[in-house]
Every structure is written in structure tokens, then in C-alpha cells.
Structure 1
Amino acid sequence: MPADPVSPVDVVAGEKMWAAYSHARPDAVAASPEYTIEHFGDSRRLADELLAHVISGRKRATSELVADFLARGDAVPRIGSHWIACGGLGVPRIIIRSIELRIGTFATADAAFAADEGEDDLSLDSWRREHRVYWTRVAAAQGRVWSETEEIVFERFSVVWPPEHADTAP
């Protein structure tokens, strides 16, 4: 477990953000009414760093092990699904919407995806290095061993709320 664990998400604030988005974008919500409230990463520092990359526009993709969705009792996202992204202290900051999804293994990550994930030096080599470390740590915290043959959800997204951070105007 990291030395600086993330705080629980502020569900009430997340629901208020969702209500504001729902009022402004009723068609998007009608098309995909489900959402989650969560954070990037497994530590306060990582959650804040990755969220900052999203807000700056550098990060428009993420990847997560299918096993991690299952461990939380969450369904794998679908195109159009939303999630409210929180910082390391659990405060909701933005709503993102899945625009492209695929399931593959570690070996199927490519340079374009690594660049879109917006981390480190944007290279596939650094993506592989850092994700090996991360998924090994996350799996160990769950009492299991990570394997490069596990299924990974490769997700591209857009920021849809609030308007000052949205990729396109509502």
C-alpha cells in the first residue's frame, strides 16, 4: 500500500457535480446515465498528478486491469459511460466520458496510446516500465501476482464537465 493513500471520494459533491452536468447535458446523460466517482492511481500523489495531466489536456487515455474492475465490483466501462474524477483528497474535479475502448494485453499497447495516456516522457518504453511497476504493486496489494497476459481495458476519453475544462462546449 502506498505511503500516501487516496482519501475516500466525496460522494455528495460528486452527485452535485453529476446533477449540474445532467441539467446542462440531458442528451448525453440519457444516452449513458451510469457513472462512477473515482480517482486515478493508487496514491494521493499519483491521483493528483494524473488528474492535473487530464485538466491540462496532456492526458486523454487511461488503462486499467480488468481484474481491478472486478475486484471493486464495477463493470468494465462502455463507450459513452461517464466517470467523475477526483483528486487525491477525494474532491470531484471533472467528468470524463469514454469515447474509445478496447481490451487487450500488455503487449498490445502501442506508441500512440502511450502518448495519449500523457505520462512520463510519453513514450511506449516509459509506459511499459511504469505500468509494470504500477500493476505489480496494485496486484500485490490485492494479494495476487500481476501477469503481462492479463486483460487490460485501454480507454480514450474526453473531458465533458465542467465547461471550463471540457474538450468541447456543451
Structure 2
Amino acid sequence: MADELLAHVLRKEKTGTSSLHLLYEQGFEEEKLPEVGDYSVLLDGNDQAQAIICTRVVDILPYSQISEVHGYLEGEGDRTLQYWRNVHQPFFEQELQVYGLPFSEDMLIVYELFELVFQKSAQKKR
């Protein structure tokens, strides 16, 4: 999945990502809550650095208030809100299950809008 999501970012189709606020709040996430101006290194499926993104906007809102725009900016599938929900709800449920927590549409989502600021160039063949 890392390679697939990375490809969307490199094609500039994916400029947004989302995560569960509760996991940051409870200390389950190993990273801090994202902030505007943060830089992140994107790894491929082999854990090799391929790109750097910079967070431009952070929205914290209930799952039920994720909009068509958020779904579109995630850049996956047909880029609709329905696709976003069909993929993210099971993913969030699986993440929460690890901690024995239930999913709710009132749960807060951390939505990051980011910009691709560096991309590793393809190796030239000799």
C-alpha cells in the first residue's frame, strides 16, 4: 500500500491524508499531532526515502463532517467522499480494535493538506 499511496503523491493526485485524533490524544501514535509547517519523509514499500512533503493545513473535525473536498484531495479511488468512507471506516475500525476501542462517526479526524516539496529523481540507467 505504501508504494500505491506514494505514487498518488508523486503524481500530485494525493495532497491530503487523514488519521484518528484519539490515537494522538491517547499517546498511541508514536508521532506528535501534525502542525502546519511540518515536513515528513515519504518512504516506499522498501522503507527507502522517495519524497518530502510539507503540511500546509491541519483540520480536526468529526468523521461525519469530512467533506467531498477532503475525499477528493486524498486522491485515491474515484476521489469521492463515498470511496473515502468505504476505505477509511474499516481502516479506522481496525486501528481502534487493537486498543479495544469502538468506532463512532463523532470521532475526531486529523486531516492534513500537504504539498510535495521534494521528489527523489529516478536513477538513470547506464
Task: Report if TM-score (shorter chain) is over 0.5.
Answer: yes
Q: Name the count of aligned residue pairs.
A: 120
| Deviation sequence 1:105-145 (CA, Å, 0-9, x none) | 11111111111110111011111111111111121234332
Identity %: 29
CA distance in 2, matches of 1:86, 1:163: 11
Deviating 4+ runs (over 6 angstroms): none
**Of the two structures, which has the highest relative contact order with CA contacts closer than 8 Å and spacing of 6 or more?**
2
Counterpart contact for 2:10–2:119, Cα < 8 Å? no
2:18 pairs, out of 34, 58, 63, with 63
Structure 1 portions without partners, runs of 5+: 1-45, 165-170
CA distance in 2, matches of 1:147, 1:90: 32
Structure 2 portions without partners, runs of 5+: 122-126
CA distance in 2, matches of 1:149, 1:125: 17
Higher strand share: 2
In the superposition, the TM-score normalised over structure 2's length comes to 0.86
2:70 pairs, out of 113, 122, 145, with 113
Higher helix share: 1
- Aligned pairs (5 A) from 1:6-155: 46-69=1-24, 70-155=27-112
Letter in 2 for 1:119: E
In the superposition, the TM-score normalised over structure 1's length comes to 0.65
Letter in 2 for 1:158: E
